[in-house]
Structure formats: structure tokens, C-alpha cells
Amino acid sequence: MEIMIETETTAPGLKWRQRKNARAAYWVARADIVKQGYKPETVRIHFDAADPHHMMAIAGRCMVLQAEMLSWIAGNRGHRPTYDGSLGSLIREYQTATESPYHDLRPNSRQFYDYGLGLLESNVGNRQISAITGSDVRRWYKTLRQPAPLTEAQKARGETSNPERVRRAYAAVQMLRVVIGYGVSLVRAECLALDEALKKMEFQGTRARETRMTHAQVTAFRVKARE
């Protein structure tokens, strides 16, 4: 299916591919830079379509990838993005610095990380880390946990509410712990106090699965999939 370009100004490099039941978002590197050896050429951007602000998370991830590509073509192959004390700048550094443990993540783990980091950057990325308190983090968690607004289709079906988005809020808090911990590893003084505060805070996460697929169920699923 042909790739469609969309919102290039706010989400540079963003392209969409039509799948069977939905569209999939991708960041695609500039062709002229790819010819010079830049990788990755394409990055799948995972998002929660039920989140009314999902485009902000997608745009944030695209901006990080675009900045990394432009830094590479400028000759800064080992360049660390400028850190200005804001949470957003630390997130970008964590995702792009050559020595960051982010690059050691497996693809499935990186999807979860990108999702949570995108939520943080798009919602509170401009906050100075030195000014963030435990009360701020609790407020962010409660806000991100709120149910998504009803769609017109849901209203037409007579639905009255959506469930709370616990996974969404928990992902953001977990990634806040990760990125602040990364800042501590760089001996950033402003990260130390917040890291200590986060260690003393607990947040409700999603429940662990109570049942697992059996081998027989997996086999039956594969047979139907082949059909």
C-alpha cells in the first residue's frame, strides 16, 4: 500500500500505511540521507488510538527521530543532544545518546518505552526537573488515568463512559522513573532529589494476567490463521 504523508510540520517524517483494520504510523528518514548510509530507514511508531491526544505522542517521537537523523548528517555521530534541565531534553538525550541503555532494549520493550516517554514529553516535557515534586507526579498520574472522551460512535450506541486508562498512566510513571534514573547515572544533581522521591511513591499498575494460553490453544490459533 502506498505511504501517505501527513502533518509533516508538526511530526516530521511521519507517514501512514493502511493496514487491514487501521492505519499504522511510521517515521521515515529522508531518502537523500539514507543514501549516505543513515539507519534506521523506517521506524514503526506505536500508539494508543483510543487516546484523544495520541497525535502529540506520535509527533514527539517523530521529532526525536528527526533530530537524531539531522545530527547524524551534520557530522555529530556521537553528539549528545543539548540538555537544558527540562524533562523533555533529558528524554531526548536518553533516546538518542550513543551510550544510552535505551539502545540495548529489545523491540517489544522499546515500544512500551516509546509510548510512555511520548506521553511525558508531549504533556509535561517543558517542566524543569528541579521544580518537579511528588505532588506533580501524583497529579500527572491521575490526569493520564482519566477515561478517554466518548466518540460520536459510542454516543450513538448509547454508551455512557470509558474505563480508566490505568496502563497509560502507569507507563508514564514507569518511564519517568527510568529517565530520571538515567539522569542520576549522569550525575545530574537535579535528578537526585526526584529519584529519591519516586522511590518512596507507589502507583497502581495493570493487573497481572490470571490465565495463559495453552499449547493446544496456540496450535488451534495457528491452524485457523493459516486458513
What nine digits make up the cell of 97?
545518546
Answer whether 0.75 is exceeded by the pTM: no
How much is the average pLDDT of 6-11?
A: 54
Q: State the pairing for strand pair 42-45/4-5.
A: unpaired
Q: To 5 degrees, how large is the angle CA 184–CA 190–CA 195? A: 50
Among the listed residues 132, 131, 125, the one whose alpha carbon sits nearest the alpha carbon of residue 89: 125
Residue 139: is its pLDDT beyond 80?
A: yes
DSSP class of 216: H
User: For residue range 22-74, what is the model confidence (pLDDT) as tens digits?
Assistant: 888 889 999 999 898 887 888 888 777 777 667 877 887 788 788 878 878 88
